[in-house]
Amino acid sequence: MDYDIIVLGGGPGGYVAAIKAAQMNAKTAIIEMGNFGGVCLNWGCIPTKTLLKSAKVYQYILNSSKYGIDIDDLSNVNINWEKMLQRKKDVVKKLTSGVEFLLKNNKVDIYRGFGNVIDKNSIEVNGNRLSCKNIILSTGSSPNIPEIPGVKDGLKSGFVITSKEALELLKIPEKLVILGGGVIGVEFATLYSSLGTKVTIIQNMDRILEFMDHDVINEMEDILLGLGVEILYNTSIVKVNKTDLTIKDKDGERDIDADNLLISIGRYANMKGLEKLNLETYRRGVKTNEKLETNIPGVYAIGDLNGVFNLAHVASAEGIIAVENIMGEDKKIDYRKAPNCIYSFPEMAAVGYNEVDARNKFKDIIVSKLPLSANGKALAEGESTGFIKIIADKEYGEIIGVHIIAPTATDMVSEIVTTMELEGTIYDVARVIHPHPTISELVMEAAHGAVHKNKDT
């Protein structure tokens, strides 16, 4: 059967692209071998956030006295891990089935199975050869597994886990070691430490979340330490044993105990089935231009496969842009305006330049930073750890970066993303009347601070 567009992979980039293509009257098919929603809906974004909510509720109960609610015996507050996992499964099932309904409702043809790309105009699935004018590749990524002695045996025994297995453990570990202090590592450190696990992060450099703004890194380090998380910097794993692991730092080698070792050191693009295309690649995946097109005309690569930003919302945006370009429009993606969110306690969100990069890129900048402790809503809710930091170009006041640590940081950042998309300034945000009391007021107040700083200089 001939199609205008075939989408290979049903993750947050793929299924969104397929629906958009069908809505633009393109004859569309999607190929998926597993559940729709990809890593995000099945083993990433949604299940982790579901478990994080349960952990948050547990922490609220343990700290209820500070809200004026006394519980006679906190030792009787128990975690029902089995029920938490079941709730996670129920949420995931509801969402994935909803995605399939949307695809069918938009008249997208669904093919179940592994898709092998024959050439730029045909894909084989389950022995059937499908032809098309354009292909959108959305095959996702898999966890990087380091070549450390004992890791492969540890994976087989269940001692070594990835983020997928970390969401399906039969019981909450007493001791969890996490290799990698990036986004996934920090989120799982937050989750399990909040549930009572002794968590140790092993980082082979001198900071966590190395791509974030330095103020965010410093604050988050303090937050994690406050949760009881141990962070071992400039440390590596020498070997993995059956029930422990050997690490090495400046003082030499030593063994540390763990119930599980979580590997969280990035992901690699899934290239299987794409070999015949002879795609141009780079270190992180398939190389694409601003229109998401590969070196093969009519073949596009989105999401984790191109590796620019391994974020579900970016994959969805890329999918839409790829379809629009196929359908004759001229659209480009601006990754500088893509928000980055981390679901710790409190949350973190960022968009645009961090302060160091902004100072290197622009001649003059303004930096306005306000603590969450100055916000009435945050104080009323008992969650006043964090800040907002706005970075603007001095000449015009255009916002070029924002960094937030707050309970609702991942929601608050959308206002800034919209402003940046419209090339808005600190003057625009400062003029917007924000509701009171809200934590989002800090956005307006930080903008006012930037305006005053610009007047004073």
427: domain CATH number? 3.30.390.30
**244 by DSSP, 3-state: which?**
strand
Report pLDDT for 1: 62
Dist CA 361 CA 364 (whole Å): 9
Q: Confirm whether 10 is domain-assigned.
A: yes
Q: How far is CA 421 from the centre of its chain?
A: 21
For residues 9 and 131, membership in a common domain is answered with yes
Angle between the N-to-C axes of helices 214-226 and 183-194, in degrees from 0 to 180, rounded to the nearest 10: 20
What Rg value do the Cα atoms of the chain yield, rounded?
23
**439 by DSSP, 3-state: which?**
coil
186 annotated as ligand-binding: yes
Dist CA 52 CA 167 (whole Å): 11
Give me the number of domains the chain comprises: 3
Catalytic center residues: 436
Domain of 450 in residue numbering reads as 346-456
For residues 440 and 383, membership in a common domain is answered with yes
64 annotated as ligand-binding: no
For residues 92 and 164, membership in a common domain is answered with no
Q: Confirm whether 341 is domain-assigned.
A: no
Report pLDDT for 44: 87
Residues 6+ apart with CB under 8 A from 448: 430
Q: Confirm whether 283 is domain-assigned.
A: yes
pTM listed for this prediction: 0.94
For residues 19 and 78, membership in a common domain is answered with yes
Please say whether the beta carbons of 162 and 184 come within 8 A.
Answer: no
Does residue 273 come out as left (phi exceeding 0), alpha (psi in the -120 to 50 range) or beta? left
For residues 137 and 229, membership in a common domain is answered with no
266 annotated as ligand-binding: yes
307 annotated as ligand-binding: no
For residues 274 and 129, membership in a common domain is answered with yes
Block residue for tokens 């970075």: 391
Q: Confirm whether 362 is domain-assigned.
A: yes
Dist CA 53 CA 58 (whole Å): 9
For residues 272 and 365, membership in a common domain is answered with no
- pLDDT-flagged residues of the chain (< 70): 1, 456-457
For the record, the structure tokens of 104 come out as: 């069918």
For residues 183 and 275, membership in a common domain is answered with no
Q: Confirm whether 148 is domain-assigned.
A: no
Q: Confirm whether 414 is domain-assigned.
A: yes
For residues 235 and 134, membership in a common domain is answered with no
181 annotated as ligand-binding: yes
For residues 10 and 47, membership in a common domain is answered with yes
Domain closes at, from 263, 295, 320? 263
139 annotated as ligand-binding: yes
Dist CA 207 CA 201 (whole Å): 11
Report pLDDT for 457: 57
399 annotated as ligand-binding: no
Residues 6+ apart with CB under 8 A from 358: 352, 365, 391, 400, 401
Dist CA 315 CA 13 (whole Å): 4
Report pLDDT for 60: 95
Block residue for tokens 């969805």: 316
Dist CA 7 CA 126 (whole Å): 16
356 annotated as ligand-binding: no
For residues 98 and 186, membership in a common domain is answered with no
